[in-house]
Amino acid sequence: MQIPLKRLDRELPIPERAHPGDGGVDLYAAVGIRLVPGERSLVPTGVAVAIPAGFAGLVTPRSGLAVSSGIGIVNAPGLVDSGYRGELKVILVNHGAETVDIRRGDRIAQLVVVAVEAQEMVEVEQLPPSSRGEDGFGSTGS
Provide the whole-model pTM: 0.87
Mean pLDDT by 10 residues, the chain (142 residues): 96 94 96 98 98 97 90 95 97 96 97 95 94 74 62
pLDDT at 56: 97
For residue 52, give the nearest of 92, 83, 20, 15 by alpha carbon: 83
pLDDT at 136: 73
Give the pLDDT confidence score for residue 74 in this predicted structure.
94
Q: What is the pLDDT of residue 26?
A: 96
N residues, the chain:
142
Domains with residue ranges and CATH for the chain: 5-18+32-115 (2.70.40.10)
Model pLDDT, residue 140: 67
